[in-house]
């Protein structure tokens, strides 16, 4: 009987295991995760779970007993410490050596650390794991002064929860605008306005130079000398893909584990999926590293097919979402490189879609509280349409009339 070992019991690892069984893979499947939990969803960590709107048991992708039911051996609290590609074995943290025929890397990533003294104090938090949020929730409380370093989606979602829970929130971003790495300027200024209106003190173009205090950080010091008092500090400055294991085993990596359209790594018996990969994307026609659940799930399906000897290229259109206050943002495509943008609806009324075009081709849509525009936008982006800009902007004309 053949054995597939999956390293990393997150979204991608879970979905590889599940897809293998859906594809009638009859071999042994061992799913190994170093966190003490069964696979869980990370998106609610900075949203409904942090705010207390959902309990912890709602985070789990499926009940723990679903794994043995599908003959998937789930080992949690167990780290893979080495891969021996020649011997086709992995070494586990408890010293056990496990043989594999096929290996899947689904190791995700870890929060980028802020390289300052004081960053290891107990009131400095990162937002990546359930343990991180359990610790953070213990310190959250009305009136506390929360300083968030980083104006990306995770920082903004944490700010929204902080405001909802009556904390005094300051958000510091080194770039001149929020969401600078991931969104167009229109969306950046829209979210800046929304957060300011809710009471977040936003400091843009502000690098942090020191974290000062005693047993805890008490002051966040900015480049211009500003001193921000803090009871809690959250650092949300990006993700580093977990590639150490792959690199040590001689698997090609460059800002992620390099995989082709079929999630194949430089080793023919090893696939990789999810946040840890830098992958060839058939839709974009280039390499990209994405951090999203849809990407992890879709790549996992491709990886399972590859393990089963089927050739299904990965060509999914990237999409994401973010919830802040009562603003439900859905994004399809990647807007980087756009040369034109059309707004449909009203930013003032918190109901709009921004359509990004490059050379007349629709490359991305950001939709706020517009699920229908998002659904149609997804099809338009996937079809690489050249939509009539007047129709995009004109709410009296149904968007779906633009579909082929």
Ligand X SMILES: Cc1cc2nc3c(=O)[nH]c(=O)nc-3n(C[C@H](O)[C@H](O)[C@H](O)COP(=O)(O)OP(=O)(O)OC[C@H]3O[C@@H](n4cnc5c(N)ncnc54)[C@H](O)[C@@H]3O)c2cc1C
SS3 of the chain: helix, strand, coil, percent, to 5:
25, 30, 45
Closest distance between ligand X and the C-beta of residue 255, in Å?
A: 15
Closest distance between ligand X and the C-beta of residue 229, in Å?
A: 25
Residue with smaller CB distance to ligand X, 56 or 212: 56
- Phi first, then psi, for residue 300 (nearest 5°) are -60, -40
Return the residue of 192, 218, 280, 291 that touches ligand X, per CB under 6 A.
Answer: 291
Contacts with ligand X in 76-105 (CB under 6 A)? Answer: 79-80
Q: Mask: binding to ligand X, 183-222, rule CB under 6 A, as x and -?
A: ----------------------------------------
Return the residue of 6, 42, 124, 366 that touches ligand X, per CB under 6 A.
Answer: 42
Residue at token pair 């409380």: 141
Contacts with ligand X in 221-260 (CB under 6 A)? Answer: 242, 245
Residue with smaller CB distance to ligand X, 317 or 342: 317
Tell me 308's DSSP state: T
Residue with smaller CB distance to ligand X, 154 or 304: 154
Residue at token pair 């069964």: 38
What is the total count of residues that contact ligand X (CB under 6 A)? 37
Cα(216)–Cα(196) distance, integer angstroms: 27
Q: Which of 151, 141, 128, 145 is nearest to 45 (CA)?
A: 128
Closest distance between ligand X and the C-beta of residue 93, in Å?
A: 8
Return the residue of 274, 318, 333, 345 that touches ligand X, per CB under 6 A.
Answer: 274
Other Cβ atoms closer than 10 A to 119: 16
Closest distance between ligand X and the C-beta of residue 57, in Å?
A: 18
Residue with smaller CB distance to ligand X, 33 or 387: 33
Cα(239)–Cα(19) distance, integer angstroms: 26
Closest distance between ligand X and the C-beta of residue 108, in Å?
A: 2
**Residue 193 token pair:** 């306005």
Neighbouring residues of 53: CB distance < 8 A, sequence distance ≥ 6? 47
Phi and psi based region of residue 34 (left: phi greater than 0; alpha: psi -120 to 50; beta: remaining): alpha
Closest distance between ligand X and the C-beta of residue 148, in Å?
A: 13
Contacts with ligand X in 294-353 (CB under 6 A)? Answer: 294, 296, 320-322
**Residue 255 token pair:** 């800002």
Sheet holding 89-92, edge to edge: 80-84, 89-92, 97-99
Closest distance between ligand X and the C-beta of residue 169, in Å?
A: 17
Q: Are 368 and 307 in contact (CB under 8 A)?
A: no
Does residue 272 belong to the site contacting ligand X (CB under 6 A)? no
| Sites of contact with ligand X (CB under 6 A) | 7-13, 32-35, 42-43, 45-46, 79-80, 106-109, 127-128, 154, 242, 245, 274-276, 291-294, 296, 320-322
């Amino acid at each position: 009987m053949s054995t597939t070992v999956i390293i990393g019991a997150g979204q991608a690892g879970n979905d590889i295991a599940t897809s293998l069984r859906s594809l009638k893979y009859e071999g042994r499947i061992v799913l190994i995760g170093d966190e003490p939990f069964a696979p869980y969803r990370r998106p609610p960590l900075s949203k409904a779970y942090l705010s207390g709107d959902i309990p912890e048991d709602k985070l789990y992708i499926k009940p723990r007993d679903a794994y043995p039911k599908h003959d998937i051996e789930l080992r949690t609290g167990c780290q893979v410490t080495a891969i021996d590609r020649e011997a086709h074995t992995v070494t586990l943290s408890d010293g056990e050596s496990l043989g594999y025929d096929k290996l899947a890397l689904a190791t995700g990533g870890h929060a980028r650390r802020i390289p300052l003294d004081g960053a290891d104090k107990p009131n400095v938090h990162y937002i990546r794991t359930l343990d991180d949020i359990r610790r953070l929730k213990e310190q959250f409380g009305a009136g506390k002064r929360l300083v968030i370093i980083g104006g990306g989606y995770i920082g903004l979602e944490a700010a929204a929860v902080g405001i909802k829970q009556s904390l005094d929130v300051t958000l510091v971003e080194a770039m001149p605008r929020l969401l600078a790495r991931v969104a167009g300027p229109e969306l950046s200024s829209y979210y800046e306005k929304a957060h300011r209106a809710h009471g977040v003190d936003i400091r843009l173009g502000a690098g942090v130079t020191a974290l000062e205090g005693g047993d805890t950080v008490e002051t966040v010091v900015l480049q211009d000398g500003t001193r921000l008092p803090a009871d809690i500090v959250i650092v949300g400055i990006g993700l580093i893909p977990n590639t150490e294991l792959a690199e040590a085993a001689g698997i090609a990596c460059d800002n992620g584990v390099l995989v082709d359209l079929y999630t194949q790594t430089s080793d023919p018996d090893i696939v990789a999926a999810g946040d840890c990969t830098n992958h060839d994307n058939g839709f974009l026609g280039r390499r990209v590293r994405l951090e999203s659940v849809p990407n992890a799930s879709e790549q996992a399906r491709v990886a399972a097919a590859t393990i089963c000897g089927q050739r299904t290229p990965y060509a999914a259109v990237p999409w994401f979402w973010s919830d802040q206050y009562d603003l439900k943002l859905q994004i399809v495509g990647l807007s980087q490189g756009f040369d034109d943008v059309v707004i449909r609806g009203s930013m003032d009324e918190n109901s709009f879609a921004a359509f990004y075009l490059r050379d007349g081709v629709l490359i991305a849509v950001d939709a706020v509280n517009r699920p229908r525009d998002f659904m149609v936008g997804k099809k338009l982006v996937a079809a690489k349409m050249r939509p009539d800009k007047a129709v995009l902007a004109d709410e009296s004309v149904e968007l779906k009339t633009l579909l082929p």
